[in-house]
Amino acid sequence: MEIGRKLKMERKKAGKSQQQIADHLLVTRQAISNWENEKSRPDIDTLIKICEYYKISLSYFTSVEDSQPIQESENLEVEEISSSTDSETEKSKIYKKMTPFILLLSIIITLVAMLPAKINIPFLFFFSLGIIFLSVSLFVYYLVKQFFDSEK
């Protein structure tokens, strides 16, 4: 289908007159008539404005065969965007769930690394062992909680 026929078909589908379209595009009614009768063609800037006005893709006018309106392609784009945002929110949730594990693990490693320096003072040694025990217990608690939450 030629560009002129497509322009005329979209205009009639929208229920608009040539003058209404011309006023919107800031061209003359005769220009619209010439486009629809294949006497001339709109320039690319005007064609883009036409596509925005009718909410159709530019490929609709440039392809040989009829292409789908922009609404359907927008739905596909929305699905792609929503799936990408879904994956981003999944990653965000995973990072939020991993944060306590990483924090506790780093505390445990730090305390274990500092333990040999405190062997000379028994109170600090046993205090450090107690802190390590509590940290490991908290770490195990988070792991078990995470395991049971993921089964639901």
Portion of the chain with pLDDT greater than 70, in percent: 80
Give me the pLDDT at residue 33, please: 93
Do 111 and 135 touch, CB atoms closer than 8 A? yes
Q: Has residue 29 got a pLDDT over 80? A: yes
Rounded CA separation 28/127 (Å): 88
- Distance, in Å, from the CA atom of 124 to the CA atom of 44, rounded to the nearest integer, reads 78
Residue 31, pLDDT > 90, answer yes
- Domain total of the chain: 2
- Which residue segment(s) compose the domain that 14 sits in? 3-67
Query: Would you say residue 95 has pLDDT above 70?
Result: yes
What type of residue is 73?
A: S
Look at residues 67, 64, 69, 70 and name the one whose alpha carbon lies nearest to residue 2. Answer: 64
Please indicate, yes or no, if residue 128 is contained in any of the structural domains.
yes
Where are the alpha helices (H) located in the chain, listed in sequence order? 3-14, 18-25, 29-36, 44-54, 58-62, 70-114, 122-151
Q: Report d(CA 41, CA 75) in Å as an integer.
A: 30
**Residue 37, pLDDT above cutoff 50:** yes
At 67, is the pLDDT very low, low, confident or very high (cuts 50, 70, 90)?
very low
Question: Is 18 part of any domain?
Answer: yes
pTM: 0.42
Give which of 77, 74, 57 is closest to 66, Cα–Cα. Answer: 57
Do 63 and 90 belong to one domain? no
pLDDT at 30: 94
51 close to 38: Cβ distance less than 8 angstroms = no
User: Do 102 and 137 belong together in one domain?
Assistant: yes
User: What average pLDDT is seen over the chain?
Assistant: 79
pLDDT given for residue 81 in this prediction? 62
Question: Is residue 78 included in any domain, yes or no?
Answer: no
Judged against a pLDDT cut of 60, whether residue 73 lies above it is answered with no
Which pLDDT band, with edges at 50, 70 and 90, does 79 fall under?
low
133 vs 123, which has greater pLDDT?
133
19, 38, 67 — which closes off a domain? 67
Residue 99 lies in a domain: yes
Q: Classify residue 72: in a domain, yes or no.
A: no
Q: Give the three-class secondary structure for 41.
A: coil
47 in a structural domain: yes
User: Which percentage of the chain shows pLDDT scores above 90?
Assistant: 22
Does residue 116 belong to any structural domain of this protein?
Answer: yes
Statement to judge: residues 9 and 60 lie in one domain: yes
Last residue of a domain, one of 67, 94, 114: 67
Predicted confidence at residue 76, as pLDDT, reads: 57
